[in-house]
Structure 1
Amino acid sequence: MNRPARLRTRKTVRNTTVAAASIAAMVVIAACGGSDSGGVSADKKQTLTVWGMGAEGEKLADIAKTYEKSHPNITVKVTPVGWDVAHQKLVSAAAASKLPDIAQMGGSYMGEFSELGVLEPVDTKTFHEKDFFPASWKQGVVDDTAYGVPWYVDTRVVYYRTDLAKKAGITEAPKTWKDMKALATAYQKQAGTRWGLSIQPSGTDTVQSFYPFLYSAGGQIVSDDGKKAVVNSPEAVRALTEYGTYFSKGLAKKSVTPGYDVLKDFDSGSVPMFFSGPWQISSINQTHPNLKGKWGITTVPRDESATSMAGGSSLAISKDSDHKAAATDFVKYLTSAKGQTEFYKASGDLPARTSAWDSGELATDKNLQTFRTQVENSKTSPALAKWSEISSKVDDAIEQVTQGKASAKSALDKAQSEIESLLG
């Protein structure tokens, strides 16, 4: 979202499927025509319109000012858009042929908007796949065509209380599923914590909490080409069975309130271990300084592999933009090693361009290097127009298991059937 797309509430946003057939038809018709009209050359005086989502949109305006200093002929007008309204705003703008020149898009958006015909294919002579983490590049690819250039990347690792682990008699980070289960149990029995691990039990985007289990077991929701449902494979069933045991054994909460802040319970010791992204590092350091020296992070525990989810956002250029040349140049700046480093300093978002990690804090900080290792071992879902509907079926299956209403096999068999009907 994959923040997947990412909210500053730090949950990947699912784009609700609201584009009705009539709107889709309007968009496709509107997209046919204006895209090959030439447009304004990059050296002419002009204004670029850019929509940035969530906190990233707020930070982008400052980065744009730096760009404008070296490009005095270009004014960059950045409009921050909340992730809660981003999808509907993009759909409405696409239907009216009023998309901005550049839009930030989460991975879950790419399939839908490329299918609507409103995105310009990436100029692969300017932007090269080899310069970015493989999973981040793949998020912008639909049917072998790239429609978005990776801007920042996101993934999930394990945060855990090292002091409480030591109290429980464990001095090493969990490396396998068995290790993680043992640590969660020891936290409760030896360290006296209320819970052992925080993972999402139900609700929208529960699948994101499940991905590290699913991918590490070798499972997927659909095949790599997005044409076949595979969510009830033996690997996926094993993953959901393992996920469910944390709830059946009382190691994880069966319900959490909307907007739940795991850091409060992490601070108190009630929840000593959880999966999350890189933003939590600064959150812990800034809002829970008393935890200094009492916590650590590690890559996701291994089953067949140690594979996490890949999220983040890409930058897409509107097919109907009259400023494609300048837009391409601005995106090139934002996704250069220098631009990525600047944006990391401003936002804390991890660069999608690998060369940005070769110097400075990104190259030397131990925790950041853990995230780099995990990004290199992460997987993204195919960019499909109906992905929100597809993943919601997995959300439902997970809830059935965590609430003790169905076995992993029966829940995923049901999801398999429902997803097959969506794939047609």
Structure 2
Amino acid sequence: MRQRRPNTRLLVGTAMLAVTALTLTACAGGGDDEPATTGGGDTAAGELSGRGPITYVSSPDASGAAQASIDAWNAEHPDEQVEWIELPLDADQQRQQMAQNAQIEGDAYTVLNLDVVWTSEFAANRWITPLPEDALPLDDLIPATVDAATYRDTLFAAPYYTDGALLYSRTDLLTAAGISEPPSTWADVETACDAVLALPEAAGMSCYAGQFDKNEGLTVNFSEAVGSAEGSLFTDDGQPDVDTPEALTALQHLVDWFDAGIIPEEAITYQEEQGRQAFQDGRLVFLRNWPYVYNSFNAADGSSSVAGKFGVSPTPGEDGPGVSTLGGRNIAISSFAENQETALEFIQFFTGEEQERERLELSSRAPVYSSFFEDDAVVGKYPYLPTLLESLENAQPRPQVVQYGATTAAIQDEVYAAVTGEKSPEDALADLQETLTGIVGG
């Protein structure tokens, strides 16, 4: 089924660690942040009813992996076809359009592809419906992925894939410069780039990029920098904690790297795909990105100039290996959708182990089943998996908050102001602390 753009009339982002959800005390819309079913009463999942055509709502997937799964379903279900509604690539725009459809109780969106940090917000606002826990093989899944799909002890989504940050390095150029190990600290990155960029074969290249456009990727990269400086965005009891020496070290690090050209000027517009293309075209020595780019980099069809020339390692930090943000996606059912019984069966199929294995072949998305990380044949084909597991074991979750939209927007505003020189890092963090405190107190 061909993807289609959303109807504008309906529109007004691991390991074995257990993820601790930082639930802020701000109230959801309507003044009630209790999870609810479509019936509005008991929070336990009820029987889902209705069979027929449904929609799958997601960003584009250049790998074709998700479309292959949908095509496989559609071939076996002529009366319950899945139509893909394609949302923008920008994560913030995805969240906004799904939230707007929910706010008008639109039924055009059935199955929602949610960033793991949106699950709490959508559950608290009663925009998604609980799933029967016996509908998924929870014991076979990485525990942290189940935690990220759960809100107040109720399963609201099915884990789809998990994510941790990886550092992609041009190992051929590092070797040519006499460097045998990937960098583990920010200072190591600077030293390596000084050596590599002095090589004739590195002419015109830049040192490092992550995701610094003013969207969710900036929240992720800043959160990782703070964690890698031994700080955090919130305290254990959910209070903002960003006006700290650790957060200042992290933000000053990003500002300094932009000012020094270690991060190229154009990276201020980079989301995941722009960074992927820059590294794949041979324009970067180092790139922070997710596992999904691995297959593109390793493509043997001539589309990648770095195939066989790159390596994967944990992201660097201030004094040693850095801290990744826990990423990934969950699949949920809109509370306002028809044909929810079909939707549940599609989710079971779509997130099942067989489809996860086939999508891994096409997209290198990190699976949510523990068995993949223990399978020698799979690891032999995808050697980044042990490194990813190492990254995930040290990962920190973004705050799973009811007011996540306001929280991430505030972080993006202030961090972007600092890295573009509009504010000093000190002023940006002081303003961010004040704004987040207002969100928590509001």
Alignment of 1:245-260 (within 5 A): 245-256=256-267, 258=269
Q: Distance in 2 between matches of 1:330 and 1:264?
A: 33
* Matched residues, number: 399
1:152/1:351 contact within 8 Å kept: yes
Report whether the alignment pairs 1:123 with 2:139.
Answer: no
- Write out per-residue CA displacement over residues 103-152 of structure 1, whole angstroms, 9 at most, x where no aligned residue: 22222432332122132223334446553334433433334433222101
Tell me the residue number matched to 1:318: 334
SS of corresponding position for 1:381: coil
In structure 2, relative to structure 1, the CA distance for the partners of 1:382 and 1:256 (3 Å cut) is closer
1:61/1:78 contact within 8 Å kept: no
Aligned-residue offset at 1:420: 0.7
Equivalent residue for 2:239, pick from 222, 228, 248: 228
Aligned-residue offset at 1:165: 1.7
SS of corresponding position for 2:214: coil
Tell me the residue number matched to 1:215: 227
2:292/2:363 contact within 8 Å kept: no
Report whether the alignment pairs 1:63 with 2:69.
Answer: yes
1:135/1:378 contact within 8 Å kept: no
Which range is displaced more, 365-374 or 263-272? 263-272
In structure 2, relative to structure 1, the CA distance for the partners of 1:56 and 1:411 (3 Å cut) is same
Report whether the alignment pairs 1:291 with 2:290.
Answer: no
SS of corresponding position for 2:80: strand
Q: Distance in 2 between matches of 1:319 and 1:33?
A: 13
Q: Distance in 2 between matches of 1:93 and 1:202?
A: 25
- Write out per-residue CA displacement over residues 403-422 of structure 1, whole angstroms, 9 at most, x where no aligned residue: 44554343212211111111
Letter in 1 for 2:368: A
Tell me the residue number matched to 1:412: 429
SS of corresponding position for 2:60: helix
Equivalent residue for 2:400, pick from 383, 402, 405: 383
- Write out per-residue CA displacement over residues 235-294 of structure 1, whole angstroms, 9 at most, x where no aligned residue: 322222333331233322244474683456546654211111223222223354443332
In structure 2, relative to structure 1, the CA distance for the partners of 1:415 and 1:81 (3 Å cut) is same
- Write out per-residue CA displacement over residues 355-398 of structure 1, whole angstroms, 9 at most, x where no aligned residue: 23443753213234323332343222122232232223222332
Letter in 2 for 1:83: P
1:31/1:319 contact within 8 Å kept: no
Q: Distance in 2 between matches of 1:139 and 1:337?
A: 19
Q: Distance in 2 between matches of 1:382 and 1:257?
A: 24
* TM-score, length basis structure 2: 0.75
Q: Distance in 2 between matches of 1:72 and 1:139?
A: 30
In structure 2, relative to structure 1, the CA distance for the partners of 1:61 and 1:281 (3 Å cut) is closer
In structure 2, relative to structure 1, the CA distance for the partners of 1:165 and 1:330 (3 Å cut) is same
Q: Distance in 1 between matches of 2:281 and 2:207?
A: 13
2:106/2:337 contact within 8 Å kept: no
Q: Distance in 2 between matches of 1:256 and 1:99?
A: 36
In structure 2, relative to structure 1, the CA distance for the partners of 1:324 and 1:414 (3 Å cut) is same
Tell me the residue number matched to 1:244: 255
Letter in 2 for 1:207: T
Equivalent residue for 1:78, pick from 79, 83, 91: 83
Q: Distance in 2 between matches of 1:51 and 1:96?
A: 16
Tell me the residue number matched to 1:393: 410
In structure 2, relative to structure 1, the CA distance for the partners of 1:30 and 1:75 (3 Å cut) is closer
Letter in 1 for 2:288: F
Which range is displaced more, 75-84 or 31-40? 31-40
Q: Distance in 2 between matches of 1:294 and 1:61?
A: 30
Report whether the alignment pairs 1:185 with 2:220.
Answer: no
Equivalent residue for 2:171, pick from 147, 162, 169: 162
Tell me the residue number matched to 1:373: 390
Q: Distance in 1 between matches of 2:42 and 2:337?
A: 8
Q: Distance in 2 between matches of 1:167 and 1:361?
A: 31
In structure 2, relative to structure 1, the CA distance for the partners of 1:61 and 1:386 (3 Å cut) is same
Identity %: 20
Tell me the residue number matched to 1:17: none
In structure 2, relative to structure 1, the CA distance for the partners of 1:340 and 1:74 (3 Å cut) is farther
Letter in 1 for 2:311: G
Report whether the alignment pairs 1:348 with 2:354.
Answer: no
1:212/1:300 contact within 8 Å kept: no
* TM-score, length basis structure 1: 0.78
1:105/1:316 contact within 8 Å kept: yes
In structure 2, relative to structure 1, the CA distance for the partners of 1:322 and 1:202 (3 Å cut) is closer
Aligned-residue offset at 1:228: 0.9
Q: Distance in 2 between matches of 1:264 and 1:330?
A: 33
Aligned-residue offset at 1:59: 4.3
5+ residue gaps in structure 2?
1-12, 14-27
1:187/1:193 contact within 8 Å kept: no
Aligned-residue offset at 1:229: 0.6
Q: Distance in 1 between matches of 2:153 and 2:37?
A: 23
In structure 2, relative to structure 1, the CA distance for the partners of 1:326 and 1:148 (3 Å cut) is same
Q: Distance in 2 between matches of 1:372 and 1:89?
A: 33
Aligned-residue offset at 1:224: 4.9
Q: Distance in 2 between matches of 1:267 and 1:422?
A: 40
Aligned-residue offset at 1:53: 0.8
SS of corresponding position for 1:419: helix
In structure 2, relative to structure 1, the CA distance for the partners of 1:72 and 1:270 (3 Å cut) is closer
Report whether the alignment pairs 1:176 with 2:182.
Answer: no
Report whether the alignment pairs 1:113 with 2:122.
Answer: yes
What is the root-mean-square deviation in Å for CA atoms of aligned residues? 3.8
